[in-house]
Amino acid sequence: MVWIPCRRAWRNPIFHGGLTAFAQQPMYRSYSLNYIAALATVLLITWPKEGFVNLRDLPFTYNALGGTTLIILAYLNVSQGATRFLGSRYLSLHDWLVLAPVPAGRFLRGYVAASCLELLLFWGLSFPLLILAAHVSGEPLLHLGIGMLIILVCAGSYRLVGITLLTCFERDEFLLYILVRLLYIFFILGSGFVAPMYNPVLAFADASLWPHRLGSVTLLGLTLRGWVVTVVLHLLLGGGSFIIALARVHWVQRRGAARETREEDRGHG
Amino acid sequence: MYRLSLWCILALVLGCVPGSAVAQVTMEARLGLQGALRLGKWNVVTVQVHNTGGAVMGTLGVRTWLGSEARGDFHTTAFTRPVELPPGARKRFTFAVPISGIADPVEVTLRTGETVLAQQRLDLHEALHAEQVIVGLTQDVSLDFLATVFTKTHTRVVYLPPSDLPQHWSGYDSVSAVVVKGVSLQALSTEQNTALHAWLANGGTLIAAGDSQYTLLTEPRLRTLLPVEVLGLQQVEGLPAFVARYEVPFPETPMVVVRARLTHGQVLVGTSEAPLLVQRRFGKGRIVFLAVDYAMQPFSSWQGRGALWNDILQTPENVDFARLFAELGMLDETHPIMKLFGRPVLAFPSHLIIAGYVFLYCGLLAGLFWRMSKHQARCWRYWGGVVAVIVVFTLYALSPLLERGLNQPALIFDVTTMELLAETDYAHLQGHLGVFSVRGGQFDLAFQQPETILRHTFTRGVGKAGKDLEASIAGRFAIHNIALEPWALRVFSTESMATTPVQVSVQPHAAGLTIQVQNRGALPLQGAMVVYQGKIFALGAVAPGEAVVDDLYPTLHNAESAQEMTWRVLLKRRPAETDTRLAYLQEVLLQQYFGDKRLAEASETPFLAGWLLAPATLLTPAPAWPAQGVTLVVSRLTL
C-alpha cells in the first residue's frame, strides 16, 4: 500500500529531477545546519538545571523545543513552498509545462513530493532533539509521536499553501512576499487568538502533559481532542490548497495549449 | 407435560429476578464507642447486618468526608470490606474510620456490584462529642464523676463489656484511657488482647484499680502488664500517703486496699513494699496501678480524687497547637515529602553531556555536508550518511539519556520512622508517603501492616487530584482509586504498629553502657549508632538474625561538636555506600525526627539510630511504579 505511491513518485520525472536538484543544492545544507543549531540552543537553554521536581510548573523543555520547531518549520514551508525550487527563477509555470509535457496532476504531484523532501529532512533532523526534550519533561513516546505527527501535518499543509500561492501568483513577487508573511503570522500567532483550534503550537502543547486548553469538539457523536481537530483542519487546508493548485496548473496548461493552437492557426492562416 | 412446562416457566421467572430483589437485608450502624466520638481521631463504627433473604456476597463500606474546601484538600474515603451473608445470617462488622468534622454525615452502604442493598447515614450532629473518652471495664458505673473532674477537657466515660473492646488498635484511637476494675482480661480474644497491647505501646493508658476481687489482678494477662505483684488484701486506717501527696484530708476510717509489691515502675504514692499508686512505662504508654477501690466510701467522696485522677490520666490541659496547625494545613509545607520535593531527587543528564551530544550531532552533519559539497558526484552516499546519523542519534537519545523517575507513571516515595518501643515487642511506624504522578492515572497503594491508620492526606502540584479515595481493609490495608492528573502529588501520613524487627537491650555499668542489638528482621540494620552523652558510638551493620554486643565508654571517645545539630551529625555518619539520592530521603527523615535539637540536648536520653534501606510502610506497588524508600530506626534506651 505504501510502496505503490513511492514507486509512482520515483517514476515521476518531475520528482526525479527535483530529487537530484535537492541533493546537490547547497542551500538546504546550510539551512539545516542553522536550523539544528537554533534547536540545539533552545534545548540547552531550557534543559533542566538541577534535579528538582517543580511542583508549581510543568516541564517546559519539550514544549519549548516543539514550539520552536513548529515556528521555524512553518515559516520555512510557507516561504520555501512559495519559492520556485526547480530550474531558473525566470522560468514560469507555463514554460515548465511546455518543457515537460506531463499531465497537470502528475506534474503537481511530482513537484509537491520533491518540494516536501526539504520538509522531511528538517522534520527528521529535529527528531533526536525532541526525544531528548521529551525524556526530561516526562512525556511518553505516544505524546512524542503525536507531536511529530502534528509537526509533519501542519508543516506539510503550509508547504502546500506555499505551492498554491506560487502557482497562483508566480509573476507578482511582491504580492507573494506579502501574502507569505501575512499567512505565516496568521497561522502561528493570529490563529491562537482568533481560531485556537487552528494553531499548531497550541495543538502541540495540547498533545503533551500540559493542560488541554484546546478542549474537545463533538462531531457526529464522536468527541475529538483539540489536537485531532487541528490535524484534521490542516489536512483539509493542505487538501484544499492542492486542489486549488491543481486547478491552476490545469488552467495554465489548457490556456497554454489554447494559445499554441491560436498561434498555429494564425500561422496557417 | 403441562406440569413440567409450568415448572420450567416458574424456574425461568425466578432466574430472571435480579439478586437484589431476592436479597432482604436489614442494617443498623452505630457510631463511636456507645455513641461517644472524638473529632480528629479514628472512631469506631459498628454495623449489624441481618440477611432474611437469599445469600448475599457484597461489599460493606463506610464513607467519611475529610479535609476542608478552603484548604483545597476536601475528599472522601470509603473504607470497604467484602461481606458474605448466608441466608438468615446476622453479622456484626466493626470499622475504625477518621472523623474530623460534624458537617457531613458518615455513610454506611451495603452493595452487591452496583446495586445498593442497604444504606444508612449517621448524622454526626447527634453524636456525643468529647475531647477525652475513658473506657471503663468495670462492674459498676462508678467512673461517672470523671466527666466533671476535668474542667477544661470535655470528658465522657463509656462502659463496655470486654467483648465489645476493639479488635484493632486503631479502634482505640479515640480512647484516652482504659480503667479495669473487677473485670477479667482473660475473656478478651487474642486480637483484642493484641490490640490493647499495641495501643498501650503507642501511648495509651491502662489503669488497674483495686477491687475486692483482687485475684483478677493476678491473672496472667494483667499480671504481665502491672508494675506490681499483687499479694492480697489488707485493711488500713485512712490513707495518710494520699493526704501527704494531695494535701486533702482523708477520714481515718478502716478500709481495704490491695496489698502489692513493686516489681518495676515508679511509685507515686506509698512505698515499694506497700505501693498505693504506681505507674510503669510501656512503650510510649503507661500502666497505672491504684491499690484503692475508688468506688468505695469514703474514697468515692474524697475531695482529693480530682487531683489524683489528674495525676493518673495526665490529661494535657494546654491547647494542642500541633493538632490545630495540622488542621489548618499550616504544617503541610513542612511535611517530609514536601521537603523531599525541595531536594534534587531527579537525575537529569548534565548540560555537559547534552552539549557534547548536540556538538557531535551538528559536527557530524556539518562534516557530511562539507564532504557533499566537495564530492558532488558521491552526494547520495553522504545523504545516506545523514540518514544514518539521524537514526543513530535517535536511538541513542531513546535509551541512556533520560531521567528514569520521570519516565515512569509515578514517583512513589516512602520515608518511614520506625520507633522501637521500649519494654514492648512493638515498633511504631510513622510513614510519610508521596505519590507523584508524572503522566496522570489511577494508582493503588498496598501497605505492609494490615492495621494502618491514614492520618492525613493533601495534594499539591499543577494537576488536580481525585477526591474519592477507597481504603480496603479486608486482609491487607490498601488504598485504591488515587486518581491524579499529570504533575500532581498526593501526600499521605500514616501510622502503624508492627512487631519490632530489632531488639535492643542496654545495661549501664560504672564507666558506660553495654548494649546488645539483635536484628530479628529480614533486612540488615545499617549504620547503627548510639548517641550517648553527646558522643556517637558506631555499631555498624547488623545482619538479619545477628546480634551485636558492645561496651560503650563515653570517657574514651571524643565528643562531636555539641553545637552541631543531631540530624546533621547522624547524616554525616550514615552508611557511605548508599545512593546519593537516598541521602535526601535520609536527610529529610533525620530532620523530621530530631528537628533542630543540638547533639548535647538530643542525647540526654541515650538512643540508638540505624537504617533499613527499604520502604517499611508500603509494599512494592507494582514493577512499573517502584517505591523509593528508606526507614529510620530509632530506639530510646531506658537505663
Query: pLDDT (tens digit, 9 = 90+) per residue, B320-360?
Result: 666 666 666 667 888 999 999 988 888 888 899 999 999 99
Query: Are residue B371 and residue B392 in the same domain, yes or no?
Result: yes
* Helices (runs of H) and strands (runs of E) counted in chain A: 11, 2
Does residue B493 fall inside a structural domain?
yes
Distance (Å) from the alpha carbon of B374 to chain A's nearest alpha carbon: 11
pLDDT per position as a tens digit, B170-192: 999 999 999 999 999 999 999 99
Q: Is B346 on the interface with A (CB under 8 A)?
A: yes
β-strand partners of A116: none
Q: Is B388 on the interface with A (CB under 8 A)?
A: no
Residue B82 has pLDDT above 90, yes or no: yes
Query: Are residue B195 and residue B265 in the same domain, yes or no?
Result: yes
Residue B635: CB atoms within 10 Å: 24
Percent of chain B scored above 70 by pLDDT?
91
Question: Which one of B102, B126, B150 terminates a domain?
Answer: B126
Domain hosting residue B373, numbered range: 351-402
So what's the pLDDT on residue A243? 95
* Helices (runs of H) and strands (runs of E) counted in chain B: 14, 32
Q: Which chain B residues are within 8 Å of A209, Cβ to Cβ?
A: 438-440, 486-487
User: Exposure pattern of B449-478 as b/e (b: 16+ CB <10 Å)?
Assistant: bebbbbbbbbbbbbbebbeebbbbbeeebb
Residue B223 has pLDDT above 80, yes or no: yes
Residue A93 has pLDDT above 80, yes or no: no
- Domains in chain B, number: 4
Mean of pLDDT values over B618-635: 83
Reported confidence tier of residue B15, pLDDT bands at 50, 70, 90: very low
Nearest to B364 by CA among A197, A32, A123: A32
Query: Are residue B175 and residue B291 in the same domain, yes or no?
Result: yes
So what's the pLDDT on residue A84? 76
So what's the pLDDT on residue A229? 95
What's the CATH code of the domain at B108?
2.60.40.10
Does residue B84 fall inside a structural domain?
yes
pLDDT per position as a tens digit, A97-152: 777 778 888 888 988 999 999 999 999 999 999 999 999 998 999 999 999 999 99
Distance (Å) from the alpha carbon of B335 to chain A's nearest alpha carbon: 14
Rounded Cα distance between B571 and B531, Å, is 13
So what's the pLDDT on residue A55? 86
Nearest to B74 by CA among B458, B475, B404, B333: B458
Our CA angle for B383, B388, B392, nearest 5°, is 155
Residue of B nearest to A122 (CA): B390
Q: Is A145 on the interface with B (CB under 8 A)?
A: no
Helix A104-137, helix A3-11: angle, nearest 10? 130
Q: Is B153 exposed, middle or buried (0-12, 13-18, 19+ CB in 10 A)?
A: middle
**CA-based max dimension of chain B:** 124
Nearest to A64 by CA among A132, A122, A141: A132
So what's the pLDDT on residue B578? 60
Does residue B338 fall inside a structural domain?
no
Distance (Å) from the alpha carbon of B620 to chain A's nearest alpha carbon: 22
Residue B43 has pLDDT above 80, yes or no: yes
Instruction: Supply the mean pLDDT for chain B.
Output: 87
Q: Is B387 on the interface with A (CB under 8 A)?
A: yes
CB contact under 8 A, A209 and B487: yes
Residue B160: all three cell numbers together: 463496655
Rounded Cα distance between B201 and B195, Å, is 10
Residues 6+ positions from A177 with CB-CB distance below 8 Å: none
Does residue B216 fall inside a structural domain?
yes
Nearest to A131 by CA among A119, A121, A143: A143
Answer whether B110's CB lies under 8 Å from B116's CB.
yes
Query: Are residue B459 and residue B501 in the same domain, yes or no?
Result: yes
Q: Which chain A residues are within 8 Å of B369, Cβ to Cβ?
A: 26, 29-30, 32-33
Rounded Cα distance between B187 and B209, Å, is 18
Residue B234 has pLDDT above 70, yes or no: yes
Residue of B nearest to A28 (CA): B369
Query: Are residue B355 and residue B303 in the same domain, yes or no?
Result: no
Distance (Å) from the alpha carbon of B464 to chain A's nearest alpha carbon: 11
Answer whether B428's CB lies under 8 Å from B283's CB.
yes
Query: Are residue B147 and residue B226 in the same domain, yes or no?
Result: yes
Distance (Å) from the alpha carbon of B385 to chain A's nearest alpha carbon: 13
CB contact under 8 A, B439 and A51: no
CB contact under 8 A, B380 and A129: no
CB contact under 8 A, A55 and B487: yes
Query: Are residue B312 and residue B397 in the same domain, yes or no?
Result: no
Distance (Å) from the alpha carbon of B12 to chain A's nearest alpha carbon: 38
pLDDT per position as a tens digit, B407-457: 888 899 999 999 999 888 899 999 999 999 999 999 999 999 988 999 889
Rounded Cα distance between B114 and B18, Å, is 12
CB contact under 8 A, A131 and B398: yes
Mean of pLDDT values over B542-563: 79
Residue A247 has pLDDT above 90, yes or no: yes
Please count the residue pairs, one from chain A and one from chain B, whose beta carbons lie less than 8 angstroms apart: 119
Using DSSP, state whether B122 is helix, strand or coil. Answer: strand
Q: Is B397 on the interface with A (CB under 8 A)?
A: yes
CB contact under 8 A, A55 and B489: yes
So what's the pLDDT on residue B559? 61
Rounded Cα distance between A263 and A269, Å, is 10
Rounded Cα distance between A113 and A86, Å, is 12
So what's the pLDDT on residue A232? 95
User: Nearest Cβ partner of B366 from A33, A135, A209?
Assistant: A33
pLDDT per position as a tens digit, A179-204: 999 999 999 999 999 999 999 999 99
- The CA-atom distances, in angstroms, between B10 and each of B2, B4, B13, B24, B52 are 12, 10, 5, 21, 22
Q: Which chain B residues are within 8 Å of A47, Cβ to Cβ?
A: 348, 351, 354
So what's the pLDDT on residue A7? 79
Residue B13 has pLDDT above 50, yes or no: no
Domain segments of chain A: what residues? 3-46+58-268
Q: Is B489 on the interface with A (CB under 8 A)?
A: yes
Side chain identity at B368, as an amino acid letter? L
- Upper half-sphere CA count for residue A137 (Cβ side, 13 Å): 28
CB contact under 8 A, A51 and B346: yes
Does residue B310 fall inside a structural domain?
yes
Question: Which one of B279, B300, B320 terminates a domain?
Answer: B320
Residue of B nearest to A211 (CA): B463
Higher pLDDT, B417 or B12: B417
User: Nearest Cβ partner of B390 from A29, A43, A127?
Assistant: A127
Q: Which chain A residues are within 8 Å of B411, Cβ to Cβ?
A: 53
Query: Are residue B99 and residue B222 in the same domain, yes or no?
Result: no
Side chain identity at B563, as an amino acid letter? Q
Reported confidence tier of residue A163, pLDDT bands at 50, 70, 90: very high
Query: Are residue B422 and residue B303 in the same domain, yes or no?
Result: no
Element spanning B135, H or E: strand B132-138
Residue of B nearest to A127 (CA): B394
Q: How many residues does chain B have?
A: 639
Residue B168 has pLDDT above 50, yes or no: yes
Residue written as cell 542553522? Answer: A34
Does residue B343 fall inside a structural domain?
no
Query: Are residue B162 and residue B281 in the same domain, yes or no?
Result: yes
Looking at chain A, which runs of residues are DSSP E strands? 216-219, 222-225
Answer whether B294's CB lies under 8 Å from B306's CB.
no
Does residue B344 fall inside a structural domain?
no
Residue A209 has pLDDT above 70, yes or no: yes
β-strand partners of B458: B491
Substitution target in A19, A131, A137 with the highest count of B β-carbons within 10 Å is: A131
Query: Are residue B221 and residue B106 in the same domain, yes or no?
Result: no
Query: Are residue B196 and residue B309 in the same domain, yes or no?
Result: yes
Residue of B nearest to A121 (CA): B387
So what's the pLDDT on residue B70? 76
Helix locations, A138-218, DSSP H: 141-169, 173-185, 191-194, 200-206
Answer whether B50's CB lies under 8 Å from B427's CB.
no
- Predicted model pTM: 0.86
β-strand partners of A112: none
Does residue B164 fall inside a structural domain?
yes
Q: What is the distance in angstroms between the CA of the first residue and the CA of the last residue of chain A?
A: 52
Q: Which chain A residues are within 8 Å of B628, Cβ to Cβ?
A: none
Distance (Å) from the alpha carbon of B530 to chain A's nearest alpha carbon: 33
Q: Which chain B residues are within 8 Å of A29, Cβ to Cβ?
A: 369, 372-373
Distance (Å) from the alpha carbon of B469 to chain A's nearest alpha carbon: 22
Q: Is B341 exposed, middle or buried (0-12, 13-18, 19+ CB in 10 A)?
A: buried
Chain A, residues 13-42, CB within 8 A of chain B, namely: 23-24, 26, 29-30, 32-33, 36-37, 40
CB contact under 8 A, B397 and A125: no
Chain B, residues 581-610, CB within 8 A of chain A, namely: none
CB contact under 8 A, B341 and A52: yes
Answer whether B613's CB lies under 8 Å from B526's CB.
yes
- The CA-atom distances, in angstroms, between B439 and each of A58, A227, B109, B629 are 11, 18, 33, 21
pLDDT per position as a tens digit, B445-504: 999 998 899 988 999 999 999 999 999 998 889 999 999 999 999 999 999 999 999 999
Q: Which chain B residues are within 8 Å of A61, Cβ to Cβ?
A: none
Reported confidence tier of residue A267, pLDDT bands at 50, 70, 90: low
